[in-house]
Structure 1
Amino acid sequence: MKADPAVQRRLLELADVDAELARVDHRRRTLPELAEIAEAEKVVQARKDAKVANETALGDLDREVKRQEKEIDAVRAREDRDRALLAGGTVNPKQMTDLEHELTTLERRQATLEDELLELMERREAVEGDGQHAGVELAKAEEALADAANRRDHALADLETAWVRRTDDREKLVPQFPEPLLGLYEQVRKNKGIGAALLRARRCGACRIELDRSAISRISGTAADEVVTCDECGAIMVRTAESGL
């Protein structure tokens, strides 16, 4: 394949543009903020789960407290009724003895229930404190996630600007190359990543391998408009005064 040496040299401009586009694409996929966001999302979810668990525990305790208070109220009402009967003087001696015994039992039961209620209230206070702490931790995690997402968005916006600019440069360069040369360049770039590179000091600029004597001899005897490729990586090697031929 033949192509004007000046056109071949312009391939280096296209290769530079493609290299930058590749870097932008790689940067998009490997932004540190992406990993940071993924981790932050896990933390947020864990904090949300902890908050839900706390709210569930608090709800269970509230129901238990209400049940306990209701039972204490029932014991007190029974106690008040028994005392009223005793005070009324309408009960016989046996009933009086039974009532006094029941009152003693009710007093013990009320004391036990009140102790249990106090323990429940203390547990509830501790769980409520844990809930407040969980809320603070969730807010911190959500703030960290929002910060990482904001930094990602700014980085992506900058990369998009670079992508658009270099894509525009590429669109202007591509029509300058004959189809066979461009086709070869695109094929090599698709398979190897670099379509063309400068042959400098007898070394391929794509794979960085120094050419042996036989390759140098062959290329030296090739016409300037002949397109030569690297035997190792297949990239188009653009020859200039720096090639060392």
Structure 2
Amino acid sequence: MNAEPADQIRLLDVQALDVRLSQLAHKRKSLPEHAELDSLTKDLAQLRDLLIAAQTEESDTAREQTKAEQDVDQVRQRAVRDQQRLDSGAVSSPRDLENLQRELVSLAKRQGDLEDVVLEVMERRESAAERVTELTERVSSVQAKTDDATSRRDAATAELDAEAASVTKEREVVSGSVPADLIALYEKIRAKQAGVGAAKLYQRRCMGCQIELDMAEINEIKAAARDKVVRHENCGRILVRTADSGI
């Protein structure tokens, strides 16, 4: 393939722009906010699970407390009724009186036991409520950090995207001035060679693979016409000759 030396040199400009686009894409993908957000997202999910569990426990103990208080109230009401019967004198049979008094003692013990249950449930409910408060605050704190990291990531991404758009537009202009067949060859090689399809020949060294050419290849390039598109035997990239190529 042949191409004017100026067109070959413009190919280096296209390559430089492609390298910049690759750098921008890598930088966008490697923004520290991505890892930060991954960590925060995991923490937030875990905290929300813990919060749901704590809220469930608080709700369960609230129902348990209500049930226990209702049990106490039922026993208390029965004790009040029995005491009223005893005080009214309506029960005259010694045996019935003895049974009623025994029941009052039993109810008093039962009420005491149930009140202990209420206190124990209240303590667990209070502990669960404190846990809910603590976790709610932690969720809010991590959410705030997540929002901040998201904002920083979006700002950095927007800046990189804007630069990439500008570089892409510049590449379109520069590549449009290079013959289509030369660009096609460049693109084919670039796809196979880690994004580098053309390299400068500098001081007898290929700047694509950083290997110095041997004398046989140097002599072959020296003998080639200036408009001939030459390629490095080692890496296959297009070698662009310039004033400082050393040949």
Give the structure-2-normalised TM-score. Answer: 0.96
Find runs of 4+ consecutive structure 1 residues off by over 6 angstroms: none
Deviations 1:85-143 (A, max 9, x none): 10011112111100111111111111111111111111111111111000011001111
* Aligned position for 1:173: 174
Q: CA deviation at 1:167?
A: 0.8
* Aligned position for 1:15: 15
Q: Are 1:242 and 2:244 an aligned pair?
A: yes
User: 216, 230, 239: which is aligned to 1:228?
Assistant: 230
Distance between the aligned counterparts of 1:145 and 1:231, measured in 2? 52
* Aligned position for 1:65: 65
Q: Higher mean Cα deviation, 179-188 or 60-69? A: 179-188
* Aligned position for 2:137: 136
Q: Are 1:115 and 2:116 an aligned pair?
A: yes
* Aligned position for 1:162: 163
**Does the residue aligned with 1:241 lie in a helix, a strand or coil?**
coil
* Aligned position for 1:199: 201
Q: CA deviation at 1:21?
A: 0.8
Distance between the aligned counterparts of 2:230 and 2:32, measured in 1? 40
Letter in 2 for 1:60: D
Deviations 1:22-70 (A, max 9, x none): 1112222222212221221111111111111111000110010000000
* Aligned position for 1:105: 106
* Aligned position for 1:148: 149
Identity of aligned residues (%): 39
Deviations 1:184-215 (A, max 9, x none): 11111112111111111111111111112221
RMSD of the TM alignment (CA)?
Answer: 1.0
**Does the residue aligned with 1:238 lie in a helix, a strand or coil?**
strand
Deviations 1:137-169 (A, max 9, x none): 100111111111111100110111111110110
* Aligned position for 1:42: 42
**Does the residue aligned with 1:208 lie in a helix, a strand or coil?**
coil
Give the structure-1-normalised TM-score. Answer: 0.97
Q: CA deviation at 1:174?
A: 1.5
**Does the residue aligned with 1:199 lie in a helix, a strand or coil?**
strand
Paired residues, number = 245
CA contact (8 A) 2:28 2:157 kept: yes
Distance between the aligned counterparts of 1:132 and 1:154, measured in 2? 33
Letter in 2 for 1:44: L
Distance between the aligned counterparts of 1:231 and 1:29, measured in 2? 34
Letter in 2 for 1:24: L
Letter in 2 for 1:212: D
Letter in 1 for 2:143: E
Instruction: Name stretches of at least 5 consecutive residues in structure 2 with no aligned partner.
Output: none
* Aligned position for 2:188: 187
**Does the residue aligned with 2:213 lie in a helix, a strand or coil?**
coil
CA contact (8 A) 2:11 2:175 kept: no
